[in-house]
């Protein structure tokens, strides 16, 4: 169970004990935590310079740390049950993609901006499921950044730290991710989702009404987005932009395209490319509309937007799959559900539902049993309220 801060006290104890075992009890270490996230709406809009609406969830990376007098980075992972060491003065991209590389990558990113970090002993633990699309990687980066900022006596600047986390993942780990995950994990405010403009990086905290809960529904399907399908979608968006720029030089990304402009040009576009753009253009308006709906407590309207987003991803962008369609259908069949959609890149992973908070338990039971009747995969449901971004525990 998590307390109101969203951190499981037993998890914190376990991580602290592991630290004592690995590195000794004195002087007393500190603890940085950072949450995973789920994207409520705005899918495949990030690389089109558009809007997303992620929310930090009550599952986090817990990083116990203590500065050292030398330049060693010694890390111990509870999940992988191993301890390893790196020399901070010898870090260079591409580093690697094992768990310690996420920590080292952030240290490297700090160094690229002249931020001097001391050597460190760290224990990494957490309860964000790995590789499920809830961004355990960004949580690990932001917990690391929080720890390094403290160890280097830097003022905590969540926006700068989110950028450094992305730089670490892109360049040091070699994963080409957008900026949303690090923003959600660093900048989020408790009780609020985070509307993010992926072009300007402006954010707006959006209160989630008390009577609503978000349920993450992991289908158990792990057909990770075939790199080729993702690249195809991006290439389609770029071709449409290239064509429309000929008609309107102000078009830099699909973010700048109106449905009118798109429909005017439809005869000159490849039919599949047109279909992809017909998802992105309206989808890009949905995060702002959903933020406005949540702000004034219009949960039915927010739910309808989620349903629309799912249909569009399924029929126009063609990135859903049988398991995601099934679990969102079952969710919507519950009277307590306002709306549901796939979340993340697609072809497996998680869906997300907006649900009456008081009925979350029965909702989860009903969805899980109906899903498991049809699909033989290890599904899991996580009820969530919005949590605060990366911070130090007292
Ligand atoms: P996602 O971000 O969707 O969870 P990724 O593949 O991007 O999946 O990141 C998962 C990686 O992050 C893991 O392979 C591991 O290297 C690192 N990681 C995440 N959580 C932990 C953890 N609790 N302990 C150690 N490493 C972790
Ligand atoms: Mg990740």
pLDDT band at residue 224 using 50, 70 and 90 as cut-offs: low
Among residues 52, 45, 39, 46, the alpha carbon closest in space to that of 281 is found at: 45
Give how far Cα 364 sits from Cα of 198, 346, 381, Å. 32, 21, 6
The overall pTM is greater than 0.85: yes
Find how far residue 165's CA is from the centre of its chain.
13
| Residue % of the chain over a pLDDT of 90 | 94
CA dist., res. 84 & res. 349, Å (int): 30
**How many helices (H) and strands (E) in the chain?**
11, 13
CA dist., res. 360 & res. 362, Å (int): 6
Q: State the chain's mean pLDDT as an integer.
A: 96
Centroid of ligand 1 to alpha carbon of 44 (angstroms): 22
- CB contact set of 3 (below 8 Å; sequence gap of 6+): 9
Cβ–ligand 1 distance for 126 under 6 Å, the answer: yes
**Choice among 121, 181, 218, 256 that is catalytic:** 181
pLDDT, tens only, 148-203:
999 999 999 999 999 999 999 999 999 988 899 999 999 999 999 999 999 999 99
Q: Quick one: pLDDT at residue 131?
A: 85
Question: What are the residues facing 350 on neighbouring strands?
Answer: 218
Q: Quick one: pLDDT at residue 222?
A: 85
Assigned CATH for 9-207+387-392: 3.30.230.10
Q: Quick one: pLDDT at residue 3?
A: 46
Centroid of ligand 2 to alpha carbon of 102 (angstroms): 10
Q: Quick one: pLDDT at residue 226?
A: 59
Segments making up each domain of the chain, as ranges = 9-207+387-392, 213-384
Query: Phi-psi region for residue 313, left (φ > 0), alpha (ψ -120 to 50) or beta?
Result: alpha
Question: What are the residues facing 380 on neighbouring strands?
Answer: 218
Centroid of ligand 2 to alpha carbon of 270 (angstroms): 32
Which CATH architecture describes the domain 213-384?
2-Layer Sandwich (3.30)
Give how far Cα 233 sits from Cα of 22, 226, 318, Å. 46, 11, 9
Strand ranges for the chain from DSSP E: 30-39, 51-52, 54-67, 72-77, 82-87, 120-126, 192-197, 203-207, 212-218, 337-342, 350-356, 380-384, 391-392
CA dist., res. 331 & res. 351, Å (int): 10
Task: Give the closest ligand to the alpha carbon of residue 11.
Answer: 1
- Count the Cβ atoms, other than its own, within 10 Å of residue 369: 10
Q: Compute the average pLDDT of residues 262-285.
A: 98
User: Cis omega before residue 94 (within 30°)?
Assistant: yes
Longest dimension (CA), the chain: 71
Q: Quick one: pLDDT at residue 133?
A: 87
Find how far residue 10's CA is from the centre of its chain.
24
> Is-catalytic flag, 197?
no
Angle between helices 180-187 and 158-167 in degrees, nearest 10: 150
Find how far residue 11's CA is from the centre of its chain.
21
Cβ–ligand 1 distance for 144 under 6 Å, the answer: no
Cβ–ligand 1 distance for 75 under 6 Å, the answer: no
Cβ–ligand 1 distance for 182 under 6 Å, the answer: no
pLDDT, tens only, 12-57:
999 999 999 999 999 999 999 999 999 999 999 999 999 999 999 9
Cβ–ligand 1 distance for 77 under 6 Å, the answer: yes
Q: Quick one: pLDDT at residue 1?
A: 44
Q: Quick one: pLDDT at residue 225?
A: 58
Q: Quick one: pLDDT at residue 46?
A: 96
Hey, what are 37's tokens?
């996230």
pLDDT band at residue 228 using 50, 70 and 90 as cut-offs: confident
Give how far Cα 378 sits from Cα of 123, 162, 354, 374, Å. 28, 32, 22, 12
């Amino acid at each position: 169970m998590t307390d109101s801060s969203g951190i499981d006290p037993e998890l914190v104890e376990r991580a602290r004990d592991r630290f004592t075992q690995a590195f000794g009890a004195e002087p007393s270490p500190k603890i940085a935590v950072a949450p995973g996230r789920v994207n409520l709406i705005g899918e495949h809009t990030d690389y089109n310079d558009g809007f997303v609406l992620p929310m930090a969830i009550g599952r986090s990376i817990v990083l116990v740390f203590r500065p050292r007098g030398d330049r060693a980075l010694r890390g111990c992972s509870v999940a992988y049950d191993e301890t390893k060491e790196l020399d901070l003065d010898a870090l260079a991209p591409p580093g690697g993609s094992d768990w310690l590389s996420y920590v080292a990558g952030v240290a490297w990113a700090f160094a690229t901006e002249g931020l001097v970090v001391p050597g460190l002993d760290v224990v990494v633990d957490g309860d964000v499921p790995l590789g499920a699309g809830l961004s355990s990687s960004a949580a690990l980066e932001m917990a690391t950044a929080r720890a390094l900022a403290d160890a280097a006596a830097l003022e905590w600047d969540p926006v700068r730290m989110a950028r450094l986390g992305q730089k670490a993942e892109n360049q040091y780990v070699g994963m080409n991710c957008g900026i949303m995950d690090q923003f959600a994990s660093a900048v989020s405010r408790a009780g609020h989702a985070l509307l993010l403009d992926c072009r300007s990086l402006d954010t707006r905290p959006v209160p989630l009404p008390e009577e609503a809960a978000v349920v993450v529904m992991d289908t158990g399907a792990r057909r990770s987005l075939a790199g080729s399908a993702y690249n195809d979608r991006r290439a389609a968006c770029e071709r449409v932009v290239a064509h429309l720029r000929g008609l309107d030089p102000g078009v830099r990304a699909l973010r700048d395209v109106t449905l009118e402009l798109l429909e005017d040009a439809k005869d000159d576009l490849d039919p599949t490319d047109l279909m992809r753009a017909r998802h992105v253009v309206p989808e890009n308006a949905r995060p702002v509309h959903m933020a406005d709906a949540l702000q004034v407590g219009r949960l039915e309207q927010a739910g309808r937007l989620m349903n629309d987003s799912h249909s569009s991803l399924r029929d126009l962008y063609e990135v859903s799959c049988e398991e995601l369609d099934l679990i969102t259908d079952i969710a919507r069949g519950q009277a307590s559900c306002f709306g549901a959609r796939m979340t993340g890149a697609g072809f497996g992973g998680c869906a997300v539902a907006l649900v009456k908070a008081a009925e979350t338990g029965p909702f989860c039971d009903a969805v899980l049993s109906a899903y498991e009747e049809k699909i033989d995969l290890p599904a899991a449901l996580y009820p969530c309220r919005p949590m605060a971004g990366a911070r130090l525990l007292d």
